[in-house]
Amino acid sequence: MTTVEESIDVAVPVSTAYNQWTQFESFPQFMSGVESITQTSETNNHWVTKIGGVERVFDTEITEQHPDERVAWKSTDGTTHAGVVTFHRLGDEETRVTVQLDWDPETFIEKVGSVVGADDRQVKSDLKAFKEFIESQGAATGSWRGNVDAPPTVPDAPVTSTSPLAAAPEADPAMDDPESGGPRAGL
């Protein structure tokens, strides 16, 4: 599994950056290699990509989405692909956009590209193009501000104690970490 994580600061309010990111069909305007995305429902998209001469066709499902905070997705067929983009308010007119992608390179060329950092450079380039796109527009081309809650996690083992404290889940430190897209104090 290859993981790529990149961030960029954009000079627009967090809601503008988030709203534009929910317009999946606009991705080809700022993501090289994305030929098309067709939104098939509020939470499903059909992707066609062509990177390094290799065409991939796959479907994705939004697994979590919270306005002005995060959008997470995973492939449901075809290429093994998952990701999350988080939005961090830096000021009234500035937002940090962080993208993390996880995917399985399949061909020899994809595996070599992963090893030499081509994936990182591509995501960085696409984020720079997103910055130029959204800053030049000044406003999002549309928005979808619906909430999609993450699927519930299944505990590893059943709780056998009758103590009410035994059933309490462990605290998730990522939920208090602004860099992970968790709740932020003061917002």
CATH code, 76? 3.30.530.20
Q: Look at residue 51 and tell me if it is in a domain.
A: no
- At 52-88, the pLDDT tens digits run 778 889 999 999 999 999 999 999 987 788 999 999 9
Contact 18, 35 (CB under 8 A): no
pLDDT at 35 over 50: yes
> Contact at 8 Å (CB) between 126 and 24?
no
Burial class (CB in 10 A: 0-12, 13-18, 19+), 127: buried
Q: Which of 40-49, 55-64, 93-102, 164-173 has the lowest mean pLDDT?
A: 164-173
In a domain, 158, yes or no: no
Q: Look at residue 171 and tell me whether its pLDDT is greater than 60.
A: no
**Band of the pLDDT at 109, cuts 50, 70, 90?**
low
Position 172 scores a pLDDT of 44
Mean pLDDT of 157-163: 44
In a domain, 153, yes or no: no
Into how many domains does the chain fold? 1
Region of 71 on the Ramachandran plot (φ > 0 left; ψ -120 to 50 alpha; else beta): beta
Mean pLDDT, residues 39-45 taken together: 94
pLDDT digits (tens, 9 = 90+) for 129-155: 999 999 999 899 999 898 999 888 776
Q: What is the DSSP letter of 40?
A: E
Provide the domain limits for residue 124: 2-23+60-137
Cα 154 off chain centre by: 23
* CA–CA distance, 59 with 79 (Å, rounded to integer): 9
Confidence (pTM): 0.76
